[in-house]
Each structure stands twice: as C-alpha cells, then as structure tokens.
Amino acid sequence: MYLATTDAVATATDGRRSRGRVTGPVLALGAVSLVTDISSEMVAAVLPLYFVLGLGLSPLAFGFLDGLYNGVTAFVRLLGGYAADRGGRHKLVAGSGYLLSALSRLGLLLAGGATAGIGAAIAADRLGKGVRTAPRDALISLHTPPDQLGRAFGVHRAMDTTGALLGPLAAFALLWVTADAYDAVFMVSFCCGLFGVLMLVAFVPGREEPPPARRRARGPSAPRLALALLRHAAFRRVCGAAALLGAATVGDAFLYLLLQRRLDFAESWFPLLPLGTAAVYLLLAVPAGRLADRFGRRGPFLAGHAALLVAYALLLLPTGGHLLLVGVLLALGVFYAATDGVLMALVAPFVPPDQRASGMAVVQTGQALSRLVAAAGFGAAWTLWGIGPALTCAALALTAAIAGAAALLPRADDPHGTLRRRTTRP
C-alpha cells in the first residue's frame, strides 16, 4: 500500500532539496505521536495499580481488562486502512482515531469503579489506536520520497518512543504531587491527547483523493485479499508462529505487578517501571533490526522471546533487590527490541507490496487475539492457583511455544517473490 502511493510524492518533491532531511509532515506526525504517547503511557503506567490496588479488582478481572486493552485494536486495524485508502481521507480517519483515544480518558473518569465502564473506556482507546495506525503510516509514506522511507519511519518511531519515556515520568510526578490521585492523571492525559488532535489538524496536511484507476486497484478487494493470504503456506506459518508465541506471552503489566510485590516498593514508584523497559527498547531497537537484516530475522525474533523467558525465570528464582529489578526490565526491553519491528520485517517478504499493510495487520490481529487469551488465562491461573504456579505454567508454555515457533517459521526469506506471483490476481 505504501510503496504504491509514494510515486506522487516523488514527482512533487525536489529530491535534491529534501535529501538527508525528513519532511515537515513527517515531523508533524512524529510530534503528534509523541504527545499522544505521553497521554497513552501516563494511563498505561498507572492502570495496573489503579485496577488491582485502587479498585481492588481480582487478577482474573485485571487479566481480562489487560487482554482487552491489547487485543481490541486488532479488529479495526484493517478497517481503518481500508476506509482511509478508498476515499483518500487519511488525515480524517487518523484524526478520528486520535480523538476517540483522547475521549476515552474522560470515560475512565466517569466510570468510577465500574468494571463495565472501565472496559468500555479501554475498548474505546484501543479502537482509536486501531483506526489511526494504518492511515498515519500511510500519511508518512505519502509525504516521503521513496528512497527515504526508512529514515522517515525511523524518526517517527524515535519520537513516538520518546513519548513512551515521558509518559510514565509525567504519571509518576502527578501521583507524587497529588498523593496518588488517579483522577488527576486521567485528566492531564485527556488534555495531552486533545492537544495531539489539535496539532494534527493544524500542522499535518491532508491527502488528496487518489486517481480513480489507482483507487479501484487498491480499494474494494483489499480486506478479502488480505485474508486470502492465509491460504499460502509461508505466510500462514509466520502467522501461526506469531500467534503461538503470543498465547504464551504474559503482559508486561503483570510482570510489573509481580516486581512491585516482590520488592515491596512504594506505589508512587510503580509508573517508572515501563520507563526502564522503554529506555532499553530505545537503545536496542536499531541494533536488533540491523542484526536481523544481516543474519536473518528468524533468529533474533526467537531470541527476543527467550529474553522474555529469562524475565519469567528471574521472577521465579529467589532473587531480589536491584538484580531482580534491572534483570527483568532489561529482559523486557530486549524482548520488545528483538520482536516488535523484527516481526514486521520477517513478514514483509511473504506479502505482495500492494497488500503489505493488510498482510501485516492479519499477523498483528492473530498475535493480539492470542495475547488477549494469554492475559485472561494468566489472570485466571493467578486467581485460582497463586502467583508461583501461574508463572511456572507461563514459563513452561513459553518454552514450548518457542520450540513450536522454531519449527514453524520459514528458515529463509522469500527473495524470489513466490507468494507475490501467486497473489497478484484478484
């Protein structure tokens, strides 16, 4: 989807003038993502404490909500990209997603302690993220010359991660100043999210409707063709491996809760835990991607899940103090650095260029749904059996999943485009 639409930018932009620089719209989108991620991570950093300690929810109820928080995005990702591409309304669709996420913060305030209301607010936030992701990335590609797409996406993701670092810091500061007033966190998060929407409206240019011929070629059959990719063995094996590993991936919110219980530190320090993970991720994401490009993506992807297994083991072992804290956060950071972008790089050779975003969304959907099941399952096991047995089962499941994924994943990329040749006809 992205590569097919960047030729218009190439003809409208003087490549010599923009060489080595990121275009203004990309920087504006990066700023929007930075502010929005501050808003999102402020809430994400305090939700585990708010649910389990503030509202007294059981681990089972928290597991369901945590899975919902991460899984509901999957259902609307394809829809958002399809709606934006068909009508050329990338800015409108992306803005709607950003606005919905911002309004969800007010939903948390109005819900009080009602689990149903909290679940609805979380679902609204994830729906907003699912709607905006594909149109936002399309806007980045549409406003970038083809030979600078990697740099543009790298700058955007770096700005986005900066927001992920600043969000927990802001939540920590607010909880410190207001004596654990979660409502203050939700209100400030709403204001940041709304500011991001205003930045999008003011500084990000819209996208004109694409030519009719191109719109017919890309639009009506996009969702159907994306799901049809599952008929092909290589793509199906990657999807299966990602879903299998996702089903054994305990959400990091659970691991942060376990750290807090094991180390027994003050609740006001809890929002800083994601900050450590994000810092490691920021440092290692680019080296992990280069390693994957040089030696193959299968190995780093599996190694990242092995790092997650190390985090499980550290929480099971009788370790404590700084060794446990640093070890778990480092392992989580390595896990995200070696799996997040690497999975998309692993999928790309098995998806035709004109279905690239839709194919990646199919993989992300399977992974998100399996993680929803994993979060709910771990919460149920924690409630019924206790922390130790539940985490032991998760470690055994992840070990088996890594072995299964190693057998499923293709051992080489698809440089000759065999899948591409088989899926070009509608």
The DSSP secondary-structure symbol of 232 reads: S
pLDDT of residue 380: 87
Measured CA to CA, the distance from residue 263 to residue 322 in angstroms comes to: 9
Measured CA to CA, the distance from residue 351 to residue 414 in angstroms comes to: 9
Q: Which of 44-53, 209-218, 315-324, 342-351 has the lowest average pLDDT?
A: 209-218
pLDDT of residue 5: 36
Do 391 and 38 meet the contact criterion of CB atoms below 8 Å apart? no
Q: Tokens 């700084």 correspond to what residue? A: 322
Q: Give the fold, CATH level 3, of 25-204.
A: Growth Hormone; Chain: A; (1.20.1250)
* Bigger pLDDT: 144 vs 44: 44
Closest CA to 387 of 258, 288, 248: 258
Residue 396 has pLDDT above 90, yes or no: yes
Q: Find all residues with CB under 8 Å of 7, minimum gap 6, and list them.
A: 146
Residue 216 has pLDDT above 50, yes or no: no
pLDDT of residue 94: 83
Region 337-342 average pLDDT:
78
Mean of all residue pLDDT scores within the chain:
76
The amino acid sitting at 279 is A
Residue 150 has pLDDT above 70, yes or no: no
* Bigger pLDDT: 116 vs 41: 41
Can you give the three-state secondary structure of 355-416, one letter per residue?
A: HHHHHHHHHHHHHHHHHHHHHHHHHHHHHHHCHHHHHHHHHHHHHHHHHHHHHHCCCCCCCC
* Bigger pLDDT: 12 vs 358: 358
pLDDT of residue 369: 82
Tell me if the pTM is above 0.85: no
- Could you check whether 25-204 and 222-412 share the same CATH topology? yes
Residue 12 has pLDDT above 50, yes or no: no
Residue 261 has pLDDT above 80, yes or no: yes
Q: Which of 71-75, 102-106, 206-210, 389-393 has the lowest average pLDDT?
A: 206-210
Residue 85 — pLDDT band, cuts 50, 70, 90? low
Region 132-143 average pLDDT:
74
Residue 358 has pLDDT above 80, yes or no: no
Question: Phi and psi dihedrals of 259, rounded to 5?
Answer: -60, -45
Measured CA to CA, the distance from residue 76 to residue 55 in angstroms comes to: 29
The DSSP secondary-structure symbol of 95 reads: H
The model's pLDDT over 173-192, given as tens digits with 9 standing for 90+, comes to 887 887 767 788 888 889 99
Measured CA to CA, the distance from residue 142 to residue 55 in angstroms comes to: 45
Give residue limits of the domains in the chain.
25-204, 222-412
Do 289 and 154 meet the contact criterion of CB atoms below 8 Å apart? no
CATH superfamily of 222-412: MFS general substrate transporter like domains (1.20.1250.20)
Q: Which of 65-79, 97-111, 119-133 has the highest mean pLDDT?
A: 97-111
pLDDT of residue 266: 74
Residue 304 has pLDDT above 70, yes or no: yes
Question: Phi and psi dihedrals of 60, rounded to 5?
Answer: -65, -45
Residue 197 has pLDDT above 80, yes or no: yes
Closest CA to 200 of 131, 148, 132: 132
Q: For 66, what's the count of Cα atoms within 13 Å in the CB-facing half-sphere? A: 34
Buried-state track 407-419, b at ≥16 Cβ within 10 A, e below 16 = ebbbeeeeeeeeb
Share of the chain above pLDDT 90, in %: 19
Do 102 and 196 meet the contact criterion of CB atoms below 8 Å apart? yes
Measured CA to CA, the distance from residue 13 to residue 88 in angstroms comes to: 19
Measured CA to CA, the distance from residue 415 to residue 419 in angstroms comes to: 10
pLDDT of residue 123: 77
